Amino acid sequence: MKTPAKRIYNSASVPQEDCVFCKIVSGKLPSYKVYEDDRHIAFLDINPFSVGHTLVTPKRHGETLWDMDDHEIAEIFKVASKVSMGVVAAMNADGFRLMQNNGEAANQAVAHIHVHVIPNKMEDKGKFMNRLKLSGDEMAKVADSIKSEIAKIE
C-alpha cells in the first residue's frame, strides 16, 4: 500500500461500528445476498440502475480503493468478474458494467469500498439509467436466480 498525497472526502464517512455495509457483513442488517467467501460478500443494490445490479464488498472495512493493498484490489475485481457471470446469466443480459466510486464527489453513497456490477441489455445502449425500486419479493427472486447462477461457476 502506498501513502496517498491527498485524502478523499466523504460526508457519509462514519466510524466502523456505524457502517451500514459492516452491519450487512456481520448480519446485523439484512441484505439480498448472492455470494460470499472468506473475505467478500455480494448483495443486491437496494436502488438498482438495472434489475440484477449487485454490489461486491470486502468484509474488512475501508473507505476507498486506497485503503486496500494491491492483493486485495486484485481479489475484489476477480470476485466482481465471477459475480458478473452470474448476474449476466441470471438476467439474460448482453453486457455489464463495473463501477467503483471513491468519495462524495464521485457519488460514493456508502463509505465502505464496493464495486457495482450492473447488467445491461442491448436496448439499454446509449440510454441514461435511472434508479429502480423493486418489491421485496422481486428482489428475493432476483437474488435467488443470481445466487444459483454463481454457484454453477468454477
Residue positions annotated with a catalytic role: 114
Task: Tell me, rounded to whole angstroms, the distance of Cα 128 from its chain centroid.
Answer: 20
Sites of contact with Zn ion (CB under 5 A): 19, 21-22, 61, 112
Do strands 54-58 and 115-120 pair parallel, antiparallel, or not at all (unpaired)?
antiparallel
Residue 67: is it exposed, middle or buried by C-beta count within 10 angstroms (0-12/13-18/19+)? middle
What's the closest the beta carbon of residue 77 comes to Zn ion, in angstroms?
19
What's the closest the beta carbon of residue 32 comes to Zn ion, in angstroms?
18
Give 13 or 85: the residue with its C-beta nearer to Zn ion: 13
What's the closest the beta carbon of residue 28 comes to Zn ion, in angstroms?
12
Closest residue to Zn ion, Cβ-based?
19
CA–CA distance, 54 with 83 (Å, rounded to integer): 8
Task: Report whether 96 contacts 84 (CB < 8 A).
Answer: yes
CA–CA distance, 65 with 72 (Å, rounded to integer): 9
Give 10 or 120: the residue with its C-beta nearer to Zn ion: 10
